[in-house]
Amino acid sequence: MLRGIILLAAYCVGSIPFGFLLVKWAKGVDVRTQGSGNIGMTNVWRVVGAGWGIATLLLDISKGALAVWLPQHFAPLDSLLEVLCGLAGLLGNIFPIFLQFKGGKGIGVSVGVFFTLLPLESAAGLVAFTLAVAATRMISVGSLLGVTTMALLTIYLEKGLNWFSGLALFAMILIWWTHRQNIKRILNGTENKIGKKGLNR
């Protein structure tokens, strides 16, 4: 019973649509009707400014970390529950119950989840993200390469698939899926870049 409550709480935490709430509060509009229609940092940045976009990212990271903290605090030494709560938080962000299961792309919450569970691998992913964005000026490219680096390094260091590397691999696949429209634009050469035609994600 306790495991179920903790898992449900992690999903609900992940479901909190901070980008949607901040834009609603700041501008009185539904961010899903603006820009790319996404509730994540980049579209919030576009709609109401950099400060709100950064706030969205930090809050999304925080809820990912909180989703993993819950089992660490209430059911310590249960590594499987930590992984499942990380997954629940990620799924909550992408399929939030509060927005009819249509949410973000999972980047911010993934940062919180994986820096809590896998700090070394996540740091490597952050380096890959930074280098990719610096080279291409596309946040989507950085996000995809960052999560891929994190997942592959986790599989390597864990010497194959286990609960942790399995979660990392699943997160990579899920984030590539949520970025499928971005991938099409990247391949077509139409993906927007930072500093040119705004931000697109």
Q: Quick count: other Cβ atoms within 10 Å of Cβ 77?
A: 8
CA-to-CA separations, 146 to 5, 106, 165, in angstroms, rounded: 32, 13, 15
DSSP state of 32: G
Given a contact cutoff of 8 angstroms between Cβ atoms, the answer to whether 61 and 51 are in contact is: no
Residue 173 lies in a domain: yes
Residue 197 within a domain: no
Question: Are the C-beta atoms of 96 and 14 separated by less than 8 Å?
Answer: yes
In a domain, 200, yes or no: no
Residue 194 forms part of a structural domain:
no
Residue 158, in any domain of the structure? yes
User: Structurally, how many domains does the chain consist of?
Assistant: 1
Query: Is residue 40 assigned to a domain?
Result: yes
In a domain, 196, yes or no: no
- pLDDT one digit per residue (tens) for the chain, 201 residues: 899 999 999 999 999 999 999 999 999 999 999 988 999 998 999 899 999 999 999 999 999 999 999 999 999 889 999 999 999 999 999 999 999 999 999 999 999 999 999 999 999 999 999 999 999 999 999 999 999 999 999 999 999 999 999 999 999 999 999 999 999 999 999 998 887 654 444
Residue 129's H or E segment, with its range, is helix 119-136
Asked whether residue 195 is domain-assigned, the answer is: no
Which residue range(s) make up the domain with 114?
A: 2-188
pTM equals: 0.90
